[in-house]
Amino acid sequence: GEDVEQSLFLSVREGDSSVINCTYTDSSSTYLYWYKQEPGAGLQLLTYIFSNMDMKQDQRLTVLLNKKDKHLSLRIADTQTGDSAIYFCAESYGSSNTGKLIFGQGTTLQVKP
């Protein structure tokens, strides 16, 4: 089936690390993505990881993939107030030749000064 699950809310203090978790169902997903959405805006691609990788680091962002458990996480180091937003993980679903993305419900990250 098609299902991506995320916790709904995370609150951290400025300067701390944030870890947002996601589980997905399709073991054939080729890519897994993290998108950021600020209020009233579209989706901004943050980073993605290919399914044959365990980890990807991009400046303050670290993505960890546990393919056995179908678990994806996004770590934001030195979280800033500007990181406050909704974060979506998404998997590219299915073996058909369609780039259908299945999104989680989103995790609202609140960064307190």
Closest CB to other proteins among 17 and 44? 44
Interaction site with other proteins (CB under 8 A) = 4, 30-31, 33, 35, 40-45, 48, 88, 90, 92, 96-106
Tell me whether residue 27 is exposed, middle or buried, using C-beta atoms within 10 angstroms of its C-beta: 0 to 12, 13 to 18, 19 or more.
Answer: exposed
Q: Are the beta carbons of 113 and 14 closer than 8 angstroms?
A: yes
Smallest distance, other proteins to C-beta of residue 88, A: 6
Label each residue of 27-38 as H, E or C.
CCCCEEEEEEEC
Closest CB to other proteins among 17 and 28? 28
Closest CB to other proteins among 17 and 27? 27
